[in-house]
């Protein structure tokens, strides 16, 4: 498999060209812990707005109040979402920083009912297997009907869109294929955080879902290249009007903050 990936990447590298956004927006090297050249990029001036402390304080409060309202939703309305909105959300995610500005993410936007159904089946089968295998020899007792409810994933097909977040795990560096799983996972997860903020900002809902062990099967359905792995799945739409969410609490800020 490693050799297959190497070959694939080799042929891809030959066709690779520099990708430049028409908006000339930018980002830059964040980590240096890749076995790459120290590249001195051309530096340009950058300006941020000057805001007084009172307004900064108020803005930080308003943004918190908005994000605080976010909850992971598993019941979606069938109401459609304009594709242009999805595109804006993904553009926003794409403004995220990444190791060496490699931008290792791909967002697969699935609106096809048949593909959503296939993915849901794979996820549910995998989930059922996980529970069954865990139950063996484990000390917990859960009745079967409850388990069945647990492994069901109706929201995967109910939401008008299913976003599948992929990240590169192999990359060509100095003509050598290297595994860059660790940092690409962090970078792509940070992009997902910015995406969640953007989703909340427009009143849409999602639930961050793990592919568990179903990643490779879903990759095959989507024909993703072998240097990519599925990090997360995000069903996306408007929450249904009668949505229920678990009554769970967030830690108070004093419990997650230490002052030095």
Chain residues 25-54 in contact with its own copies, contact rule CB under 8 A = 25-33, 35, 37-38, 40-51, 53
How many CB atoms neighbour CB 153 within 10 A?
21
Q: Which of residues 170-209 bind its own copies (CB under 8 A)?
A: 183, 185-187, 189-198, 201-205, 207-209
* Residue (3 or 147) nearer to its own copies, CB: 147
- CA–CA–CA angle 62, 65, 67 (5° rounding): 110
Q: Rounded to the nearest whole angstrom, what is the least distance from the CB of residue 248 to its own copies in the complex?
A: 4
- Give me the least distance between CB of 220 and its own copies, in Å please: 13
| Least separation in angstroms between CB 5 and its own copies | 19
The torsion of the CA quartet 231, 195, 94, 228, rounded to 10 degrees, works out to 10
Q: Which position among 11, 15, 24, 145 is part of the footprint of its own copies (CB under 8 A)?
A: 24
| Residue 234 contacts residue 200 (beta carbons within 8 Å) | no
What minimum distance in Å lies between the beta carbon of 6 and its own copies? 20
In whole angstroms, give the CA distance from residue 107 to residue 91: 10
| Rounded Cα gap, residues 209 and 156, in angstroms | 9
Rg of the chain over all Cα atoms, to the nearest angstrom: 21
For residues 216-255, which are near its own copies according to CB under 8 A?
222, 231-232, 238-239, 241-253, 255
What distance in Å separates the CA atoms of residue 119 and residue 69, rounded to the nearest whole number? 29
Nearer to its own copies, 3 or 257 (CB): 257
H/E segment holding residue 161: strand 161-168
Distance of alpha carbon 119 from alpha carbon 230, whole angstroms: 12
Please give the size of the binding site for its own copies, defined by CB under 8 A: 128
Nearest one of 99, 108, 91 to 187, comparing CA atoms: 99
Q: Restricting to residues 3-22, name those near its own copies by CB under 8 A.
A: 19-22
| Contact status: 81 vs its own copies (CB under 8 A) | yes
* Closest distance of CB 151 from its own copies, Å: 9
The answer to the question of residue 155 lying near its own copies (CB under 8 A) is no
Closest distance to its own copies from the beta carbon of 216 (Å): 15
210 touches its own copies by CB under 8 A: yes
């Amino acid at each position: 498999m490693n050799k297959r990936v190497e070959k694939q990447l080799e042929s891809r590298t030959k066709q690779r060209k520099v990708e430049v956004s028409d908006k000339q927006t930018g980002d830059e090297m964040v980590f240096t812990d890749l076995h790459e050249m120290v590249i001195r990029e051309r530096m340009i001036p950058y300006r941020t707005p000057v805001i007084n402390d009172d307004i900064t304080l108020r803005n930080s409060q308003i943004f918190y109040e908005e994000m605080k309202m976010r909850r992971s939703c598993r019941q979606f309305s069938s109401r459609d979402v304009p594709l242009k909105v999805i595109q804006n959300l993904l553009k926003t995610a794409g403004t995220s920083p990444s190791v060496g500005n490699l931008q290792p993410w791909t967002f697969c936007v699935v609106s096809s009912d048949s593909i959503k159904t296939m993915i849901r089946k794979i996820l549910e089968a995998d989930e059922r297997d996980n529970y069954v295998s865990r139950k063996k020899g484990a000390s917990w007792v859960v009745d079967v009907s409850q388990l069945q409810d647990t492994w069901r994933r109706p929201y995967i097909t109910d939401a008008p869109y299913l976003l599948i977040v992929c990240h590169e795990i192999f990359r060509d560096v100095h003509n050598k294929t290297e595994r860059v799983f660790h940092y690409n996972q962090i970078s792509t997860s940070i992009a997902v955080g910015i995406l969640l903020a953007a989703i909340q900002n427009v009143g849409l809902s999602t639930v961050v879902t793990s592919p568990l062990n179903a990643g490779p099967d879903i990759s095959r359905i989507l024909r993703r290249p072998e240097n990519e792995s599925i990090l997360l799945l995000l069903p996306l739409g408007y929450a249904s009007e009668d949505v229920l969410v678990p009554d769970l609490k967030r830690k108070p800020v004093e419990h997650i903050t230490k002052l030095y």
